Structure 1
Amino acid sequence: MTLRVLVVASETADQRQTRRESSGAASHESYVDALRQLRPDLQVATVSCVEREDPLTVEELRAFDGIFFAGSPIQMHQDTAEADEAVRFMTSVFEAGTPAFGSCAGLQIAVAAAGGKTGPRGPHMEAGFARNITKTDAGLSHPLLRGRPTVWTAPAMHSSVVKTLPPDATVLASNADTPVEAAEIRHRNGTFWGVQYHPELTLAEIGTALQRQAPDLIEEGLARDKAAIDDHVRKLQALHDDPDRRDLAWQLGLDKDVTEDAQRRLELENFLRMLEERR
């Protein structure tokens, strides 16, 4: 039976438009595309958790097989109306008990809603790719990370991280500067699987994200100038167009965990399989 899922946006209208202009789609729209490539017959609805005046009820959320939270620039450690609305929405998801998954900001929304803390990442942004993501002991056997090696690389773009996990949460993976790269959170009636990285993004989308963030990357010393970023993005676009370019993969320090679509999206596939097994 076809799965019915909800994809939740946490970008503002201006942020959605900016991303559409640079990448061709808002973040939640890219998420829908990635999910439909994995399951072409998927029934997908979308909603905003930061702007909707009439939010979905707990009963309406229970009607979905699963809920996905897309990434966004939202900063959950800041006192904003958007952060408050996102927490309110996620609290309803936990109450509904519908299994949920989130990338990047999606993970941080779930952490905040369940009683944890997020904050600025040090020493700087995790930009382009998260390197040396390593499974914890719990992550070695967790179904979210089934098929991942013990250490891997994934697309990433964020300046904040989970600082304190909420009660009844488990770290599944981390790296040197990001203490929670993957986690499971159990809260109220619900279970949430989340990653700080972006399994849904293509190499081309990572490239456009780097271009949007160019001033920040230069300010933080991650790139010397715009020309260096443009050169890096050209290589990412070329590898996106031809994933078999071993020369580019070598220059960028990437392997099949990133260059192969199925392997890059593994966490999404594992979550979808879990939903199918529950039917």
Structure 2
Amino acid sequence: MPHYLIAQSELPEEREARRKRAGQSSGETYAATLAQMQPGIDTTIASPADADTPVFSAERLASFDAVFLTGSPMHVYDDGPEVDRQLDFMRAVFAAGVPSFGSCAGLQIAVAAAGGQVRKMPERMEAGIARRISATEAGRDHPLLAGRPPSWDAPAIHGDEVLELPPGATLLASNAVTRVQAAEIRYDRGIFWGVQYHPELALREIAIALAAQADDLVEAGLADRKSDVTTRAADIDALHDTPDSRALHWQLGIDGEFAEERLRRREIGNFLANLSALREG
């Protein structure tokens, strides 16, 4: 049975804050999603940014079938021991040759570890729904995006973005807000597939995250009032319970690629389906 390592870059206080809001840390969300997709798997959750987390040896990392990197509030362009520990961990994953997948900050961590650049988004955040993501020419035939239509929407909430991919990386998808929405990175002995959006999250978690960041969204100019954010979050929360609602599809301007859990998780499913090929590399 597969055994996956889930690396969450949230710090302890951030994990507890997320548990209070959404009931789970980001690593626990990933573990639950993977268990739903592959019942019976083993998962280990680690927090490499924490000062008291033991360093993973190359042999220990190689014992896992894959590594997953979660989203978090971490800014990888900040100087500090937490960021250094997280980047050192990711470089060790690349060196061990273990296939890895990450979303949001997980993508940014892999980019920075391999020599790329991440920045604070200069104009605004992308929050709630990442609109009209489209595969690049390289992405159209890439197995990470297998089954995606020419353009799709996805759950997203981030204020940082990839400025420059590292050498050995391939841009797979973009939209008008964030150029790097999906990428493959080949570095050292490893292969990483990642997305800026959140295929692992339930829609209710996106709704909770939106409501928690209402002040930031107003400040960023994405909403005029906190009540506007509350309304949008309530609609996304309702979609969690009634994904087939035609009224909510119309109100939110989305289709099944966003509303249906199975379709929303395509990239994770594609990664899992290609693990054997990725290990051979």
**Same-fold call, TM > 0.5?**
yes
Cα deviation code 1:15-67 (max 9, x no counterpart): 00111111111111111111111101111111012014411111100001110
Matches within 5 A, 1:1-279: 2-51=1-50, 52-276=52-276
Q: CA deviation at 1:276?
A: 5.0
Q: CA deviation at 1:218?
A: 0.9
Which amino acid in 2 is paired with 1:143? P
Cα pair 1:122 1:177 within 8 Å, conserved: no
Q: Tell me which stretches of 4 or more aligned residues in structure 1 moved more than 4 Å.
A: 276-279
Question: Taking structure 1 as reference, are residues 247 and 117 closer, same or farther at Cα in structure 2, changes over 3 Å only?
Answer: same
Q: CA deviation at 1:149?
A: 0.8
Cα deviation code 1:61-88 (max 9, x no counterpart): 0001110001001001111222111110
Q: CA deviation at 1:220?
A: 1.2
Structure 1 counterpart SS, 2:138: coil
2:192 and 2:120 map into 1 onto residues whose CA distance is 22
2:129 and 2:80 map into 1 onto residues whose CA distance is 28
Q: Which runs of 5+ in 2 are unaligned?
A: none
Which amino acid in 2 is paired with 1:221? G
- For the aligned residue pairs, the C-alpha RMSD in angstroms reads 1.2
Which amino acid in 1 is paired with 2:263? Q
Cα pair 2:10 2:49 within 8 Å, conserved: yes
Q: CA deviation at 1:152?
A: 0.6
Which amino acid in 1 is paired with 2:119? G
1:150 and 1:32 map into 2 onto residues whose CA distance is 30
2:33 and 2:83 map into 1 onto residues whose CA distance is 25
Q: CA deviation at 1:120?
A: 1.0
TM-score, normalised by the number of residues in structure 1? 0.97
Cα pair 1:135 1:174 within 8 Å, conserved: yes
Structure 2 counterpart SS, 1:75: coil
Cα deviation code 1:110-165 (max 9, x no counterpart): 01110110001131000011111110010000000001011110000100111111
TM-score, normalised by the number of residues in structure 2? 0.96
Cα pair 1:98 1:190 within 8 Å, conserved: yes
Cα pair 1:3 1:276 within 8 Å, conserved: no
Structure 2 counterpart SS, 1:138: helix
1:94 and 1:276 map into 2 onto residues whose CA distance is 16
Which amino acid in 2 is paired with 1:21? K
Cα pair 2:214 2:230 within 8 Å, conserved: no
Cα pair 1:183 1:194 within 8 Å, conserved: yes
